Amino acid sequence: MVHILGNQNSLLNQYIAEARDIEIQKDSMRFRKNMERLGEIFAYEISKQLPWEEKEVVTSLGEANCKVLKEQPVIATILRAGLPMHNGLLNFFDQAENSFISAYRKHHKNGSFTIQIEYASCPSLDNKILILSDPMLATGGSMVLTYKELLSKGKPAHTHIVSILASVEGVEHVKKHMPSGSFTMWLGAVDDELTAKGYIVPGLGDAGDLAFGNKL
Ligand code: PRP
Ligand code: URA
């Protein structure tokens, strides 16, 4: 199941437009803030599909029959571009457990690159709801490798994959390499093209650099 939230008019599209805008991107604090706000919107939309239960809550005037989340998800993100969006997800799922995975593109002399994972901090995932986010789903390689790495920490009951911008190729890569029925995708927008270097077109550029500065 793939949800493309940008297909409906909402503030999500305003924040994505700002995140893509080459002029607004000069303000890296605003870029991070937009990533965070988008994380909050995704959290709200995903929450509608999570299990809920009833709870009697004592107020100063009586008892209210309320609904609360039955269980807290584990939210996992890929360093480093994912950090601001992770913060947004955590603002809303404020009791969630957290996981961080480092994945980066190692560039080779012939111009190709492979994805390296060097660090993974994660609680047990057995039977938990996993929300795995990364703002950019370009080739899809980082997402699929990270998911496979996380499976060594237990088998989630269900996985929600979240990306602000995806390429058509990235979406297909995830669908091909993750077991169908085990995950739901939540995307802001899907762009048609990828450059030879694996950048989404029109995309927004390098999300990690825009949020945190250039790397060597
Ligand atoms: C970006 C992004 C994803 C990855 C997506 O990270 O945050 O992790 O690229 O590309 P893929 O779908 O082709 O794998 P990047 O390598 O730029 O690292 P950074 O977050 O440290 O800048
Ligand atoms: N990583 C990014 O940050 N942007 C892209 O377009 C592709 C990978």
The pLDDT assigned to 163 comes to: 98
Check residue 216 and give its pLDDT: 80
pLDDT on residue 88: 98
Q: Is 200 in the pocket of ligand 2 (CB under 6 A)?
A: yes
Q: Could you tell me if 192 and 202 are in contact, meaning their C-beta atoms sit under 8 angstroms apart?
A: no
Q: pLDDT tens for residues 16-32?
A: 999 999 999 999 999 99
- The pLDDT score that the predictor gives to residue 24 is 98
Q: Does the Cβ of 84 fall within 6 Å of ligand 1?
A: no
From CA 5, how far away is CA 65, in angstroms rounded?
Answer: 31
Atom of ligand 1 nearest to the CA of 211: 22
Local structure of residue 62 (DSSP, 8 states) = S
List, in order, residues 6 or more apart from 76 with CB less than 8 Å away: 98, 99, 100, 101, 122, 130, 131, 132, 133, 146, 150
Three-state DSSP at 14 gives helix
Predicted confidence at residue 66, as pLDDT, reads 98
Per-residue pLDDT of the chain (216 residues; tens, 9 = 90+): 999 999 999 999 999 999 999 999 999 999 999 999 999 999 999 999 999 999 999 999 999 999 999 999 999 999 999 999 999 999 999 999 999 999 988 888 888 888 899 999 999 999 999 999 999 999 999 999 999 999 999 999 999 999 999 999 999 999 999 999 999 999 999 999 999 889 999 999 999 999 999 988
* Pocket residue to mutate for ligand 1, from 77, 80, 105, most atoms within 8 A of Cβ: 105
C-alpha 169 to ligand 2 mean position (Å): 13
Alpha carbon distance 76, 145 (integer Å): 13
Give Cα 40 to chain centroid, integer Å.
11
The confidence score (pLDDT) of residue 108 equals 86
Distance in angstroms (rounded) separating the CA atoms of residues 82 and 73: 17
> Could you tell me if the CB of 211 is within 6 A of ligand 2?
no
Nearest protein Cα to ligand 2, atom 4: 206
Q: Which atom of ligand 1 is nearest to the CA of 141?
A: 14
| Ligand 1 pocket member 137 (CB < 6 A) | yes
pLDDT of residue 196: 87
Which residue, by CA, sits nearest to atom 7 of ligand 2?
Answer: 199
Tens of pLDDT, residue by residue over 140-155, are 999 999 999 999 999 9
Q: Is the CB of 138 under 6 A from ligand 1?
A: yes
pLDDT at 215: 84
Q: Is 80 in the pocket of ligand 1 (CB under 6 A)?
A: yes
Q: Which ligand is nearest to the CA of 142?
A: 1
Any ligand 2 atom below 6 A from CB of 199 = yes
85: its two tokens: 């969006």
Domains of the chain: 2-50+75-212 (3.40.50.2020)
- The pairing of strands 113-121 and 158-167 is unpaired
The predicted pLDDT at position 111 comes to 80
Contact present, 123 and 72 (Cβ < 8 Å): no
Probe target for ligand 2 pocket from 107, 115, 134, 200, with the most ligand atoms within 8 Å of CB: 200
Closest C-alpha to ligand 1, atom 7: 81
**The model's pTM:** 0.95
